[in-house]
Structure formats: structure tokens, C-alpha cells
Amino acid sequence: MIASRLLRHWFTRLLAPDRHIREKYGHFKELLRSDSKALDLIADLDAHLYGHDPADMARIRFLLAQLTRGVGEMADCLGLMNPQAYEMLPHNLERISAEISRLVTQPPPAADPPYVLSLDQACDHPGQAGGKAANLSFARRHGVPTPPGFVVTASAFARYLRDNALEEEVELRFRDVSLSNHDAIVRATGELQELILAAEVPADVVAEMTDALRRSGLEGMRLAVRSSAVAEDGEISFAGQYASELDVAPGDVLGAYKRVLAGKYCPRAVAYRIRHGLTDFDTAMAVLVLPMVRARAAGVVYTRDPACAAVGGKAVGVYVVGGLAANLVDGSATPGKHYLSREPEPEILMGCACESAPMVDDNVLRELGAWCMRLEKVFGEPQDVEWALGPDGLVILQSRRLQQDEDRDAFSSEEAKAARLLVSDLDCASPGAACGPVFHVASGADFRSIPQGSVVVTASLRPALSQFLDRIAGIVAGSGSRASHLASVARERGVPVVVGCGPGVLAEGDVVTVDGGAGKIFEGCLPGVMAQSRDVERMHARIRAGNEDLAAVTVHLGLIDPEADNFTPEGCRSLHDVVRFCHEKSVAEMFSLVGRGGRGLGRSRRLVTELPLVMYVLDLGGGLSPQAGSKGPVGVELVDSAPLRAMWDGLADGRVTWDGSQLHVDWEEFDRVSSGIFRMDSRILASYAIIAREYMHLNIRFGYHFSIVDALCGDTPGANYVKFRFKGGGAALNQRAYRLIFVRDVLERFGYETVIRGDMLDASLARLGLGETARALNALGLVLAVTRLMDIRLADVPQAKREAASFMQNFFPEGAHE
């Protein structure tokens, strides 16, 4: 393949140079098209991998497949431009692609039995039972009172997806899903929920569930069918994200099971797992089946509740509502509160009655506190416990790691004293401090309109708000408590939440500071809060550190300096490196498109101009107006090439005086070879331009110095560039150096990067818009026009710098940039 490509390359270059130039330009255009697409993909992936816009892994895989394909096309185009120079690039790209595949490919989930585990077995198989069931099983094993039950495993979920051909559907629908694209989340999850609900539970899974109901003694009973995802109730809680079905009739257990599986794909749950860097595979859904508890009271317990200031925040907090705890955790009910000492046999410290909350006997509170402190000891850390008081006494329904908050002041007491206090004595549901403009929400329809950085005012702590915490600085609610799911997620995210603020207190749009820990709201934004917000942003950037290995071989750019020794195919360590390498080397290939002899320009046409300049142009397509015809000399007014047009306007600027008594050709070449044989307007001595509508390769010869300009100037800023080389002169070497200082000082004011080596200057700029690139080319044309014989009259560096300043004043009095 490489040998045949190389043979064709040299054959065309030697025997058909005109075709060689056209083909090379065609490969260059293809490479630039791929380059533009690749850079867009890299920008998207950069946002996803570094946490600016977290995305589902299916989207990352999809974008990486596109990027890998596009980078391969770039490498192929570069190889066609010069097969011999870059033969190692495909091998290195293959190595990078293999490493990416290793990092993003997940093994297929196990879909083998067991499909059901008893609650007693669940803690021995946490990867199958999920966090909620495994924790409850562990508590049961240590003597804590729990209901009987069983778990439908994660393997059963994998089997459900496989047998109903849903794995590919999940991958396909998550290709567009990132946190910033809420519409895509809603669309994808809605479609997946429909597919899951329409699917069938495999027959052997049904058989095991039926047998488990019988063995657990749950036949004929009303049931609670609850989510127990693999990642649930672990390091992150997933509080309130998944669905649970309560009071399920025995004949509807399969329907409830499917609804819980479908709940895995509700919008807020998907947003939550993506925010925490988890894949769909990481959150395989197991389902916990328990008997319903006919509770007269229920609630949650925090074994270390900082909301109680009576003992310095070190108390067991018990939150109580009547009936089941659903109204408590969904934020719609305000509970009764009781605080107990943190001892194996707790004592009651204080209580706060609520009209809607039932009275609970002190002995029951002490017993509950003792069981919860035992759970803290068993699990080795403070716990968030769900409980119920039924006909048979206390039962524990759930125990998970308590999301604890850092104990630090949001801002100084001096700041608080100086600020105007708007509201105080609010309940803290999530500590911390934040400031922003007030935004009122009345219903779910308002959530999507929440502006970035707002302090949201709401009637209650609705779980659906958790999906929008990225936009929210703080939350002020009329009712709710620390025990709500939203408050739990807010604590994970560091979003302050206060409860108990009445309607009409905070006006829409007013900027306020919420101090969650103190239960206060201040006017304006306190300086300490702004500094804390920057700390939170840095913390979220660190959360994305799990993507570092993937970023290192995809979006990280290590090839910075084209002159460095490692700027080679072997030096490419990432796809971004390959993109940079291909772009730089393709431009370099075009820069050396034609040698000084002008080989391949046999079909070029003389440019008719009033300037004393001999120039020939070769049109590759779109560089000349259709009115120019196909043969013979062509007037400069018929040039349609954007870069040549812009540069020619500088060369032909009416403020520059040209000496019409002599033609500007390659005098050095004329001295060397002519001896009177060649005419002064010969192609061998002339300047020439290879042009297209957006492209120009110009070799311009003025006496004893020559310049090369290679440029792309079009509507795609990412593809635009100018490369310029200026060399030679008829004066002494030091005078030529002074002229280069002039050129450097002027060009750098237009954004060019310059390097001087001996009597040669290289300059470049890249990735500017059409107007800026055209302006830079116009300035370059002016520089070439005024410096034709400048070296002969320059005496020293200060004079060169004065001339540069005078040039700018005369030609660009408004400055280099408009």
C-alpha cells in the first residue's frame, strides 16, 4: 500500500507536475475539512471529559468514534501529500486508537442466574443485590429489625435488556445526552421508558420471582417494590432519584417490577448518575421486594445531625410524619423533630412538635435511637436511616451513608454584621452559602427556565429540582426538611437550602446571599461567598479526574512546538496531537509546493497589472472569475482568490510609489543563468501564484530577495492561516537584518508570530476570522511593497524601529486591529 502510493507520488511529481500540484491541493482541502470537524469534536469531548458539560459514556464513545475516523482521514490525506515522510503516522494512530478502545469498552454485563436472592443472602452479593438491599441485608444479619423480602438481581435486569434487544437501544439513545442538553435527556429517557414497559420479563426470571414470593411468605400480601441499583446508597446516595412502587397488589408484582426498571431512566436519575461520572452499566438495576408496613408513624434518622445546635450539632436527629415517610422524603411535609444523645442507649435531648406529625412515645424514640446507633457502629460511619412504626413495632426499611457537610463558616462575622439581614431563624436543610438573583418557581414547567446561578424560591423541596442543581446557587423553600431527598442531593452538591421562608419575602431578581448553616438570608452578595463559589468550581473540576486517562489519549495536546524534536509521528500521544501534527505538516507541505524553478506551472497565465511586476497565476479552481476565460493573460481585476485579492490590495496601495523603469524579477537568478539569453519577463524569473477561491501559494521575487506566502482565507476561522518567509537582499548582511527587524515589528502588530534566523524571517498566524486574516494579508502586501529596496538605506536598529513606527502611523493610524 505504502510502496504503491509512494511510486505513484513520484511518478506524478516527475512526469505530470501540474497534476501533482492539483492533487496535492485537493488532499490539502480534504485534510482541512477533517481538521475543522476534528477540532469541533475535540471541543465537545473536552467539555464532557473535564466536567464542564458531563455526558453519558455512550455519547463519549460516539464522539470518539467520529473523531478517530476523522483523524484517520487527516493522516491519510497527509500521507497522500507526501507518502515517504509520514509512513509511521498510521502505525502510531493505530496504537492510540487501541488504547482508547481499551478505556471505553465495557465488558457485557453478566446475565446468568441467580435472578433472585433472599434478603438474608443479599449482603454477600452487593454487585447483584444493589446498595439498598445489600445494606438492609447487612443490618438484618446484625440483629436489626427489618421486614422479610427478596431481591431481583442485576443479572435479571441484564437478561431483561438482552432478551428484549434493548442494549443497542440504550446505547443509541444516549448518544446525544449531556447535562447541558436537557431536551435530549427528556427525549431519550421517555423513549427508553416506553421500550422497557412494553418489553416482557423472561420466563425463568418470572418463575424465580414467583417461587421467592412463596418462600418469603409474601404470597397474597400487599408489597413494596423498591429500586436497589448497584451504585445506590453507597458513596453517593441516589436519594429520591429512582422509583419505588408502594402498596402493590400481589397480581401486579411483575408490572411494578417493570415500572421500577423503567424508573432507572427517569430524567433526574440519568442526570444524577452522569453528574457523578457513572455509566449506565455502573447503575444496573436490582429490585427489592418487601411487605408493606401499615405504619402509624414513619420517618428518617440522622445519627449525626448538625441541625441540632443544642449540643454543638452532635446529636441523633429523628424526623417523624404520620403514616409512611413518602411525604417527608419528597419534601412536601414538615416533620416533627426530636434530638437524642449519641450514645448506645440514647437520651432525649429536645423535641419540636409539628401539628401534622404524630406523637411518638419516648420509649419508642429511645429504642429507635439505639437501633440507629447500632447501625452506625455496624457500618462504621454515621447513617441516614428510614424507619416505620407498624403494628408489630419498629422496623428499619433502609440505611445508607449519611452525607456529611464540612464544618466551616461561609463568611466572616464582620461581613455578616455589615450586611443587611432580610430573613432569619430559617431551618437548615443543607448548609453552605451562596449568592445570586432570586428566581421563583411554582411548578415543574418553571424549572427549565431557571437562570444559571439563581437562588430558587419554591413552596416545597420537590425532588425534581435535583436535576437542575447545576444551575442553582441556593434554594429557599416554604416547607420541607433535611430529611427530603432534594436536601440530601443538595448536600452532596454543596448547594445551601433553607426552609420556612414565607411567600412574598424575596422579590424576583433581587440579589441575595443564602447562609444555609445559620438559616439566614442577606441582601446582596457577600465577598466571602464569591470566593467560596470559586472553590466549589475547582472541586467540581477535580471530580472529573476519573477521566484523566481517557483525556490523555484523546483531547490532551502535548505537541505544542512544531520546531521541537518530538514533533514527529512517534511523538503523537493523543488524537489531538495527531490533529495538530497533520495540520502543521500539511501547511508545511503546501508552503514548499513549488520550487524556485516553478516546475509544474506550464499552464499558468500572465497577470496583467500596472505594477512593474512579472507574475503568473495557476488557477486550481475558483481563483479567477469565469469572465477570465481559460487561456491567455488575465487582468488583476478578474482575480477572485480571497487571499491574493487581499494581499494585492496591499501591494497596489496608491500610497506606495513604484519605480516603473524596471521590472521586479529574480535578479539573482537572472545574473546566474541568463547571460542575455532570457527576457526579463520570462517565467523562470517571474513571481507566481497558485490560487483557488480561498487559497494562495505565492512566490514573489523582488530583485535579490524573495518571499513565499501560503495562505487560506475563508469562512471557516479554524482553517484560516498565513505562513510567510522573507529572505535575501542586495545589501550587506547587517542591513538585511535591519530590514527584517522592520518587517518583524510591523507584522507582530497584526498578530503574526515571527522568528528570525540569519537573513531569513518566518512569520505565521492562524485560526482567525475571514476579515482579520484578510486584513493581515493586506498589511503583508503593504510591507512587501515598501521594503523592496529598504535594506540599502537602513543604517541601524533604531532607524529600523523608527521606520516601523512611521509605517504604522502612515498606513494604519487607527492601529493594527479595527
Q: Residue 267 has which C-alpha cell?
A: 430524567
pLDDT band, residue 526 (cuts 50/70/90)? confident
**Going by DSSP bridges, is the β-strand pair 472-479/497-499 parallel, antiparallel, or unpaired?**
parallel
- Per-residue pLDDT, averaged over 288-302, amounts to 92
- In Å, how far are 742, 774, 781, 816 from 747, measured between CA atoms? 9, 13, 11, 9
pLDDT tens digits, 625-650: 999 888 889 999 999 999 999 999 99
- Per-residue pLDDT, averaged over 604-609, amounts to 87
* Rounded percentage of the chain residues whose pLDDT exceeds 70: 83
pLDDT tens digits, 410-452: 555 666 677 889 999 898 888 888 999 999 998 777 888 899 9
State the pLDDT at residue 239.
Answer: 64
- Per-residue pLDDT, averaged over 655-667, amounts to 59
Question: Is residue 681 scored above 50 in pLDDT?
Answer: no
pLDDT tens digits, 711-746: 999 998 878 899 998 876 667 778 888 889 999 999
When the pLDDT of each residue in the chain is averaged and rounded to a whole number, the result is 84
State the pLDDT at residue 405.
Answer: 56
State the pLDDT at residue 202.
Answer: 96
State the pLDDT at residue 536.
Answer: 45
**Four-residue CA torsion sign, 731, 732, 737, 741:** negative
State the pLDDT at residue 527.
Answer: 78
Burial of 659 (0-12, 13-18, 19+ CB in 10 A): exposed
Q: How far apart are CA 265 and CA 338, in angstroms?
A: 36
Please tell me the pTM assigned to this model.
0.72
Question: Is residue 10 scored above 50 in pLDDT?
Answer: no
pLDDT tens digits, 269-291: 898 889 888 889 888 999 999 99
Q: How far apart are CA 228 and CA 24, in angstroms?
A: 60
- In Å, how far are 50, 100, 331, 719, 720 from 60, measured between CA atoms? 12, 11, 35, 25, 28
Across 20-24, 135-139, 303-307, 702-706, least confident range: 702-706
Question: Is residue 597 scored above 70 in pLDDT?
Answer: no
Residue 117 pairs with which residues in a beta bridge? 151
pLDDT band, residue 464 (cuts 50/70/90)? confident
State the pLDDT at residue 170.
Answer: 95
Question: Is residue 529 scored above 80 in pLDDT?
Answer: no
pLDDT band, residue 234 (cuts 50/70/90)? low
The DSSP string of 108-175 is PPP-PSP-EEEHHHHTT-HHHHHHHHHHHHHHHHTT------EEE-HHHHHHHHHHTT-HHHHHHHGG
Across 39-48, 172-181, 764-773, least confident range: 39-48
User: Which of 43-52, 119-128, 476-485 shows the highest mean pLDDT?
Assistant: 119-128
State the pLDDT at residue 414.
Answer: 67
Higher pLDDT, 83 or 476: 476
- In Å, how far are 170, 381, 385 from 175, measured between CA atoms? 9, 38, 37
Question: Is residue 657 scored above 90 in pLDDT?
Answer: no
Higher pLDDT, 502 or 397: 397
On the question of a cis peptide bond just before residue 114, with omega within 30 degrees of 0, the verdict is yes
Nearest Cα neighbor of 100 from 568, 551, 545 is 551
pLDDT band, residue 704 (cuts 50/70/90)? low
Across 70-74, 417-421, 444-448, 663-667, least confident range: 663-667
State the pLDDT at residue 798.
Answer: 92
**Four-residue CA torsion sign, 260, 265, 268, 271:** positive
Three-state DSSP class for residue 413: helix
State the pLDDT at residue 540.
Answer: 44
